[in-house]
């Protein structure tokens, strides 16, 4: 916990929970900025042009790669973050991130803490290189486990406690995924694609094979005509074999071990719910959007409830992108930074909102490039 406090001081200065001192003052200013630039139904006049506001996006499982974090170790607090992680997790996460092997890093129980930490370490790099981006941040969103990193950044969760919650979540999801042969299928469809009907027929196919209570449903809404469908493997194989019937342009099995964000993850909800009851959750200092309903979190109980519900609910990322970037005609878009491994959220943003994507940048987590464009 002491190390965790050190971690927070630089990285989340503008989102500090302190009631007094520089962190507290800046947090109040950030809250005021948030009220003025995002606001409720009748926002006050913005204190700075909207285009100076920033949005941070935190990636999820699947973005990890061996070597991530190498370019971040020279920034303040990052080594401390990894030291804390070793104590919380019981293994050397830094070595796993830098040297792999990839198969171990890809395991659910390892990759979730790895992506969580690498994303917050990327925030540290961004804070060091461009502190104004952090100070002007008005909103954040995270994909699946990325939501935990977004909430730490926004001051709602303590780093160490959130890391422990991610550990419990990852282990519970790994266990749940091993109980049933299941997976996730990425689908690029057409306008005439009927995903719900396709899932219904896939479930009927599973019943004909003797599978009781089969699962096959949309688990991720990515961008128009792009979905991830998750469930029993036999259902996903049926969809691949009959993809033309459902007007699917392309299907691809994802390299994950289970049907995340479906009711097959039900066994993972209780362990996560228990740990979330035991940690302190604050109201975030900036807007953080929930995967479950694409709306802003409003209070700590809301966060506690929806983080559990997220395990068995589809990730409404496409809807979240519309909520984050919705604005009146003529109002400038904010600068967007994807903090963490991979550029998947940038690619999705490009397909959801091309104008918003034009102000997108990625903060690299591998080798540090002196000539890197900020």
Q: What is the pLDDT of residue 322?
A: 97
Q: 66 and 359 in contact (C-beta within 8 Å)?
A: no
Percent of the chain with pLDDT over 90: 81
Query: Which positions are annotated as active-site residues?
Result: 144, 261
Query: Mean per-residue pLDDT for 95-105?
Result: 96
Instruction: Determine how many CB atoms are found less than 10 A away from the CB of residue 225.
Output: 18
Does the structure show a pLDDT above 90 at 374?
no
Query: Mean per-residue pLDDT for 207-232?
Result: 98
Q: What is the pLDDT of residue 366?
A: 87
Name 62's bridge partners: none
Confidence of residue 112 (pLDDT cuts 50, 70, 90): very high
3-state SS string for 197-245: HHHHHHHHHHHHCCCCCCCEEEEEEEECCEEEEEEEHHHHHHHHHCCCC
Q: What is the pLDDT of residue 43?
A: 38
Write out the two tokens for 39. 């606001």
Q: What is residue 85's DSSP assignment?
A: H
Average pLDDT, the chain: 87
Q: What is the pLDDT of residue 76?
A: 82
- Tens digits of per-residue pLDDT, 160-169? 999 999 999 9
Q: How far is CA 117 from the centre of its chain?
A: 12
Write out the two tokens for 366. 């591998």
Write out the two tokens for 208. 């004909």
DSSP letters, 342-364, are -SHHHHHHHHH-HHHHTTEEEE-
Residue 126 CA to residue 71 CA, distance in Å, equals 12
- Tens digits of per-residue pLDDT, 2-45? 333 333 333 454 443 333 222 222 332 333 333 333 333 333 33
Write out the two tokens for 131. 């502190």
* Residue reference for tokens 């540090």: 368
DSSP letters, 2-71, are HHHHHHHHHHTGGG---SSHHHHHHHHHHHHHHHHHT-SSSPPPPSS-GGG-EEEEE--TT---TTTTGG
Does the structure show a pLDDT above 80 at 290?
yes
- Tens digits of per-residue pLDDT, 305-347? 999 999 999 999 999 999 999 998 889 999 999 999 999 999 9
Write out the two tokens for 228. 């991830």
Q: What is the pLDDT of residue 302?
A: 96
Does the structure show a pLDDT above 90 at 276?
yes
Does the structure show a pLDDT above 80 at 230?
yes
* Residue reference for tokens 């830094």: 94
The dihedral sign for the CA sequence 44, 45, 46, 51 = positive
Q: 196 and 233 in contact (C-beta within 8 Å)?
A: no
Q: 239 and 251 in contact (C-beta within 8 Å)?
A: yes
Confidence of residue 368 (pLDDT cuts 50, 70, 90): low
- Minimum mean pLDDT range among 43-57, 238-252, 277-291, 343-357: 43-57
Residue 173 CA to residue 168 CA, distance in Å, equals 9
Write out the two tokens for 141. 């969103």
The pTM is what?
0.87
Residue 31 CA to residue 168 CA, distance in Å, equals 31
Does the structure show a pLDDT above 80 at 204?
yes
Within 8 A by CB and 6+ apart from 220, the residues are 184, 227, 228, 230, 261, 314, 315, 317
- The alpha carbon torsion through 279, 283, 286, 290 (nearest 10 deg) reads 70
């Amino acid at each position: 916990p002491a190390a965790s406090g050190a971690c927070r001081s630089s990285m989340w200065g503008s989102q500090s929970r302190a009631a007094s001192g520089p962190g507290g003052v800046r947090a109040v200013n950030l809250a005021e900025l948030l009220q003025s630039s995002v606001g409720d139904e009748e926002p006050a006049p913005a204190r700075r042009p909207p285009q100076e506001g920033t949005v941070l996006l935190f990636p999820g499982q699947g973005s990890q790669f061996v070597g991530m974090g190498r370019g971040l170790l020279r920034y303040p607090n990052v080594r401390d973050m990894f030291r804390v992680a070793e104590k919380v997790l019981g293994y050397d996460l830094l070595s796993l991130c830098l040297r792999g092997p990839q198969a171990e890093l890809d395991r659910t129980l390892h990759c979730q803490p790895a992506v969580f930490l690498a994303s917050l370490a990327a925030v540290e790099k961004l804070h060091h290189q461009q502190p104004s981006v952090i100070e002007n941040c008005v909103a954040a969103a995270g994909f699946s486990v990325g939501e935990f990193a977004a909430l730490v950044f926004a001051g709602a969760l303590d780093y160490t406690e959130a890391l422990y919650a991610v550990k419990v979540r990852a282990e519970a999801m790994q266990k749940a995924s091993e109980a049933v042969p299941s997976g996730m299928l990425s689908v690029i469809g057409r306008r005439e694609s009927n995903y719900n009907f396709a899932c219904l027929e896939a479930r009927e196919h599973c019943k004909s094979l003797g599978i009781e209570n089969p699962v096959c449903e949309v688990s991720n809404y990515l961008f128009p005509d792009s979905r991830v469908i998750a469930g029993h493997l036999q259902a996903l194989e049926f969809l691949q074999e009959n993809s033309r019937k459902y007007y699917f342009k392309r299907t691809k099995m994802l390299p994950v071990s289970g049907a995340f964000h479906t009711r097959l993850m039900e066994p993972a909800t209780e362990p996560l719910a228990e740990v979330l009851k035991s940690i302190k959750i604050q109201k975030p200092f900036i807007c953080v959007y929930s995967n479950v309903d694409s709306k802003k979190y409003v209070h700590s109980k809301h966060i506690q409830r929806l983080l559990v519900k997220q395990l068995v609910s589809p990730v409404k990322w496409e809807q979240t992108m519309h909520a984050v970037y919705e604005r009146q005609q003529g109002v400038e878009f904010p600068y967007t930074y994807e903090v963490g491994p991979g550029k998947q959220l940038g690619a999705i943003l490009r397909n959801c909102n091309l104008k918003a994507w034009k102000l997108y940048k990625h903060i690299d987590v591998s080798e540090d490039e002196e000539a890197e464009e900020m």
